[in-house]
A and B are shown apart, each in its own frame.
Chain A
Amino acid sequence: QQQVKQSPQSLIVQKGGISIINCAYENTAFDYFPWYQQFPGKGPALLIAIRPDVSEKKEGRFTISFNKSAKQFSLHIMDSQPGDSATYFCAATLGGDYKLSFGAGTTVTVRA
């Protein structure tokens, strides 16, 4: 049973556009929600993370929006660049627990 559902599976965006990836979770006990970025041949790398006591967190061109009541969170990539082309994974876990539940991943392609 997948505890974190991620959509879309893939998306194509023009350079300078906005990429939006959505995730929904089941377990209301989750209290830490990281996003990972993975390039081909590499392991996932932490991009940005949020806790449910915050509704939005921004780091550079990357923003997480969090809706606790809906059990949903999303990643917005502003001013998308070709170098952002990668697979993005949302995840969720209990604080202090290193068992991450990952979404299925979204492959983002940014066209120059």
Chain B
Amino acid sequence: KAGVTQTPRYLIKTRGQQVTLSCSPISGHRSVSWYQQTPGQGLQFLFEYFSETQRNKGNFPGRFSGRQFSNSRSEMNVSTLELGDSALYLCASSLVQDNSPLHFGNGTRLTVT
């Protein structure tokens, strides 16, 4: 079974631009979560989607948004990029049942210059 696929792996953007990251979950997984990983703040929850609906959201500004499609694939968007948005963005998928483990992709490394 293929794992969680994130594209692109690396991205370099300029301050003020916007970016869209893509995530394909494991087949059969209908929940998709996004996390930001930085050396200073560690792993922080961004949001979680199930059945095309955002069910939970972390403490990030409105510049961070996401969506999920009917095939469970998900995208996240960051508008008006800031230098501090440089991070590894991780997508995780899961079955929809209590304590079902999160399966992470290898992330998209975003660098904002």
Binding site for B on A (CB under 8 A): 32, 34, 36, 41-46, 49, 51, 89, 91, 95-105
Contact = CB atoms under 8 A, between A and B. Distances in A.
B13 interface: no
B33 to A, nearest CB: 5
A97 B90 contact: no
Q: Top 7 closest A-B pairs, CB basis?
A: A43-B104, A102-B43, A46-B101, A98-B48, A95-B98, A96-B98, A99-B45
Contacts of A103: 42
B31 A46 contact: no
Interface of B: 4, 31, 33, 35, 42-45, 48, 55-56, 58, 90, 92, 94, 98-99, 101-107
The prevalent SS among residues of A at the interface is loop
Contacts, number: 58
A23 to B, nearest CB: 13
A105 B42 contact: yes
Contacts of A102: 42-44
Given A43-B4, A44-B90, A105-B42, A98 B102 contact: yes
Contact of B104 (A41, A45, A101): A45
Contact of A99 (B58, B101, B107): B58
